Amino acid sequence: MLPPMQVLLVEDNLINQKVAQKLLERAGHTVTIAGNGREALTVLSDSVFDLVLMDVAMPEMDGLEATQAIRLREEGKPSRMPIVAFTAHAMVGDRERCLAAGMDAYVTKPVQPPLLFQAMADALALTRHAG
């Protein structure tokens, strides 16, 4: 069971936003939504989050670019933001591309709650050991 967290959900699809937000809130998390990677970078500059759920395919700035920008901002800092790829991209190599961009875990849509929460727990554990 995960502790209640401040989660930034970066997702451009309104239906996916609503489904994920309800699921996360039911599990005790507080959710802030950003509609694309550029918006996410702005929100992350202004607020503190425990974890980011990052869609990959979005307009303006996709999740891979946004993750790389977050990792650049973190250089030289003692800790790193847990980022979970939250994506419909489920082809061979997609998981590896997400991890190579700096994401810590990977879960595909449509979301299956146990897999989502396990990916979140994995990302938290990985970033705790990295810091």
pLDDT at site 118? 96
Note whether residue 77 is domain-resident: yes
pLDDT at site 78? 87
Q: Look at residue 9 and tell me whether its pLDDT is greater than 60.
A: yes
Q: Look at residue 124 and tell me whether its pLDDT is greater than 60.
A: yes
pLDDT at site 129? 64
Share of the chain above pLDDT 70, in %: 98
* Contact (Cβ atoms closer than 8 angstroms) between residue 24 and residue 9: yes
Tens of pLDDT, residue by residue over 58-105, are 999 999 999 999 999 999 988 899 999 998 877 788 999 999 999 999
Note whether residue 131 is domain-resident: no
* Amino acid (1-letter code) at residue 75: E
Where residue 41 sits, what CATH number does that domain have? 3.40.50.2300
Q: Look at residue 128 and tell me whether its pLDDT is greater than 60.
A: yes
Q: Give me the domain span that covers residue 97.
A: 6-126
pLDDT at site 98? 95
Collect all residues with Cβ–Cβ distance below 8 Å to 32 and sequence separation of at least 6.
6, 7, 8, 9, 43, 47, 49
In the chain, how many domains are there?
Answer: 1
Note whether residue 28 is domain-resident: yes
Note whether residue 1 is domain-resident: no
pLDDT band at 130 (very low <50, low <70, confident <90, very high): low
pLDDT at site 65? 97
pTM, rounded to two decimals: 0.94
